[in-house]
Structure 1
Amino acid sequence: MTPGSLAYGIQLPIQSQSSLYAEPWEAGAGGADLVEIARAADRAGFAYVAVCDHVAIPRRLADAMSTVWYDPVATLAHLAAVTERVRLLAHVAVVGLRHPLVTAKQYATLDALSGGRLILGVGAGHVREEFEALGVDFERRGAVLDETIDALRAALGEEEFPSHHGKLYDFEDLGQRPRPVQARVPLWVGGSSPAAVRRAALKGDGWLPQGDPRDRLPAQIETLRRLRGDGPPLTVGAITEPLYVGAPDWDVGRRTLTGPPEALAESLSAYGAMGVHQIQVRFRCRSRSELTDQITEFGTEVGPLLRGSS
């Protein structure tokens, strides 16, 4: 990207249906709808499409979170086959729930099949029952994630026989092919806690905040820069307010940014001025067709203004 420009991606609907953000129409949607939405994002110049990760939702959280959480590897592989250029982001994979060699096998295959389009977002997780059911220590999930990142760096690298010797995982002389197409799979760390920000700065290629409002981002970014020091550039992300391109004739909610493309671009460009490199957008919509229309209009009218922002 050119200096000062702002990339944009989208967390796909349907594949996760928490009551915090799912639209009513998603409950009756499925795979065919996901394909059409991903294709629309691909055509519209979106940098990535993203999916979430939960293995199983406990009954106590089901009303708020729902139990609809598509598997990220299966979903992204399906969408890789029907898109051409858009990147495929796990936002985020709770990689501490699985042995890193299992994770590496899945995501290396995805990268190979997609021609090198994978971005692996990782996070510590927050649902205790998932960890307990899979025999993983919930209280130590941060330490588990730290070592898992190191193990994944080795297992997703260029060596056919990677090696890692840590406190939790120890492997060598175990070959895995296919290797990723990318020499270095981008690893973006999710979360906004002090531990997550530190982990992103010290171990990640990018940072995926978890719902930080605009006024909190500058301090977070400054912390990232201070901890990163002279290390390689870090891709800083942000999740925007809900969007609607144009003037809606229905109630899209008080927090939703609406208006003509120029006004939306001006508002969103403020993220770039803070030091954000990519924004994740979500559109208010009442149907799949309205969503794909919004995606298309955003890519056609707003995107060029963001790519040329300063």
Structure 2
Amino acid sequence: MLSRTLMCLAIASASTTALADTVWMKNGDRLTGKITVFDGGKLMLDTPYGGSIALDWKQVKTLESDQELLVKQDAYTGQKAKSLKAADDGKVVMQNGEAPKTVELASIQQIIKPKPVVGDLVWKGNIDAAVDFQRADSDTDDYNLAFKTSARSGRWRHTADAEYNRETTDEVVGTNNWNAEYALDRFITDKWYWQGRVNVKRDFVEDLSKQRTVGTGPGYQFWDDELGAFSLGSLLNHSTYEYADGDKSDFYSVGVKWAYNRFLIGKTFEFFTNGEVGKPLSGVADYSLDSEVGVRYKVTQWASLNLKYEKDMVTGSSNADLNTSRYTAGFGVAW
């Protein structure tokens, strides 16, 4: 019975080792785990014993992995490898069903997981929160909560985001607004998609108290992988502005949306910017801008610190212009 138990444990241990990726370092260390990404000179290895470990690529001797990985030797093209096998010092063998190919580690710029064009559900998102309390001659309370998520299955992608801002000084409300948007994308090709979206904004302080927009139009996804994404979209919108004095404006406009994020230094930092600039087709306003730009620093695999700048403008309005800026620093979670 004892020998049988030991044999089972040995088989289980061997199976676990076989399924794990392995990295050999130049100092003789041998690390096992799961390779998640290589970028910016850092190889990220997810381990059960130390979490996500950033390894200096220059100190890697060789490695192996049973995962399908996309290996890039320049900034634009990559080759899928069904597996990577250990080789001589400073090299690795790429196996993709054809003749094995040995490449220099120094020639590799990125290693990422390839994403299927049509495949299973991919769900990602983040929640950022910022709170600031100041107690002095004037007491100030400042709250910000932002939520964004997207889910893609096959050719369809759903995106939803919402944000709430409130600031009071000596119990006098200076900022109190929220906005929410839902967008549905249908990918026509691998890159081109058609989007329909609904956006609602509500402000309880500014003269421009309500904004409702329904739009549709084409977009182009430049890339979307483990290291980030970038897309541009053009929209024909129908908007409704409601003002605090009871006036109301309905008009059509054209707009350009952008969404960009990029992970840096082995996915430790993330730079992101999102927004839309619009031009009304009538004389209701000159143009509108709704944008944000910021950075996130990952504290753990799911937790991060964030710093953001937001700008919201409506200029040339016959009733009331809007020009607000906001800086926030806070804590967030991502998945």
Query: TM-score category by the smaller chain?
Result: under 0.3
Which structure: greater strand fraction?
2
| TM-score normalised to structure 2 length | 0.25
Which structure: greater helix fraction?
1
| TM-score normalised to structure 1 length | 0.27
